[in-house]
Amino acid sequence: MAKPRGITRKVSPYEWQVFTRLEWAESELQRLDDAAQAFLNAQTVTTSAWSNPDGTEYIIRVDQGIKKTPIELALMIGDVAHHARSALDWLAWGLAIQPN
């Protein structure tokens, strides 16, 4: 298997596992950011406002709000969190197996 992109030196199998998972989480985080931005850019929120006949209240109504968030965004968030947590697991295991 190839080394993760940011690695320029020889790494131990423990480090490789950590760096690979961090790189994966980073790429998925970018994909999540792109998908969330596309979703938000596609939303249109419109409001209407008027006062009542007595002029004692001002009413603002949301005519069109944000649509339901796609489930894919939640799945992507879970994927990023899983790989970041997995990198921490490998880091802890690598430190425990090689205490010095």
- The pair phi, psi for residue 11, each rounded to 5°, is -120, 155
Q: Compute how many other C-beta atoms are within 10 angstroms of the C-beta atom of residue 73.
A: 13
Tens digit of pLDDT for each residue in 6-58?
555 676 766 777 788 888 888 888 899 999 899 888 888 888 888 888 878 88
Q: pTM for the whole thing?
A: 0.58
Q: How far apart are CA 47 and CA 58, in angstroms?
A: 13
- Give 97's contacts (C-beta < 8 A, 6+ positions apart): 14
DSSP state of 54: T
Model pLDDT, residue 1: 47
Q: What is the 3-state secondary structure (H, E, C) of 1-14?
A: CCCCCCCCCCCCHH
